[in-house]
């Protein structure tokens, strides 16, 4: 159940981000807003870790669970997140590399997932179309000029929606296969029970 909830939340986030990037792809402020959002992504877990560091009572000798050993990465995450938020314009040039890696990793993940899943679930070849295009979009993003942010944002928005659609299609295929397997197992169990009952009747008659 937890895995399904995570999948639903991930798809909703990808759809929302994709829609925002498509609608506002030519907005002059979009690059800095995305940089600020990335800074917040670093700040949120660091702030949480800092709160746990200050208010969690763990014995000093318990080195494995002592949050004080997370002090350096926590301070590093806070510092880096604050730097991105305050100086977002300095990180705008890095967005194309971040998006390129995101698209390339996302596309290749689903391509390999489909390859490994085909052994147990029937996956049509056209399922590979969208994730392959997303991976190609990641390569294209790497060679785009830094000043081509509108094209990058539009391409990333479309790719995120494509990944979300791919995820839903794969999940549905796996669900159908799972239901079919359950139905087949139930039918086999009924056949076995009938055969056992017939054997029992024959034995009692003899």
Buried b vs exposed e over 97-114: b needs ≥16 C-beta within 10 Å?
Answer: eebbebbbebbeebbebb
pLDDT of residue 176 exceeding 60:
yes
Residue 180 predicted with pLDDT over 70:
yes
Q: What is the longest distance spanned by two Cα atoms in the chain?
A: 90
Give the number of other CB atoms < 10 A from CB of residue 51.
12
**Per-residue pLDDT band at 104 (split at 50, 70, 90):** very high
When pLDDT is averaged across residues 58-66 and rounded to a whole number, the result is: 49
Task: Give the pLDDT confidence score for residue 132 in this predicted structure.
Answer: 93
With 80 as the cut, is the pLDDT of residue 202 above it? no
Distance CA 32, CA 165 (A): 28
pLDDT at 63: 45
For residue 22, the tally of other CB atoms under 10 A from its CB is 16
Which runs of consecutive H residues, i.e. helices, occur in the chain?
Answer: 2-23, 30-55, 71-86, 95-117, 129-143, 149-205
- Within a 13 Å sphere around the CA of 98, how many CA atoms are in the beta-carbon half? 13
Query: What is the reported pTM?
Result: 0.70
Q: Kindly report which listed range (58-72, 77-91, 95-109, 183-197) carries the lowest average pLDDT score.
A: 58-72
Angle between helical axes of 95-117 and 129-143 (0-180°, round to 10): 160
- The Cα 84–Cα 125 span in angstroms is 42
Is residue 116's pLDDT more than 80?
yes
């Amino acid at each position: 159940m937890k895995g399904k909830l995570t999948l639903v939340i991930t798809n909703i986030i990808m759809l929302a981000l994709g829609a925002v990037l498509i609608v506002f792809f030519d907005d002059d402020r979009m690059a800095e807003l995305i940089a600020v959002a990335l800074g917040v992504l670093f700040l949120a877990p660091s702030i949480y870790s800092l709160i746990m560091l200050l208010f969690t009572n763990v014995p000093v000798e318990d080195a494995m669970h002592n949050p004080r050993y997370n002090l350096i990465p926590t301070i590093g995450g806070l510092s880096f997140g604050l730097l991105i938020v305050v100086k977002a314009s300095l990180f705008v040039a890095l967005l194309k590399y971040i998006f390129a890696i995101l698209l390339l990793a996302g596309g290749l993940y689903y391509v390999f997932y489909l390859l490994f899943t085909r052994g147990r679930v029937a996956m049509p070849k056209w399922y590979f179309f969208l994730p392959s295009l997303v991976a190609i979009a990641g390569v294209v993003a790497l060679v785009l000029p830094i000043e081509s942010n509108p094209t990058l944002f539009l391409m990333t928005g479309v790719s995120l929606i494509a990944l979300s659609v791919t995820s839903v299609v794969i999940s549905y295929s796996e669900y159908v296969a799972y239901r079919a397997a359950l139905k087949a197992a139930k039918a086999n169990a009924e056949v076995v029970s009938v055969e056992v009952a017939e054997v029992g009747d024959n034995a009692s008659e003899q």
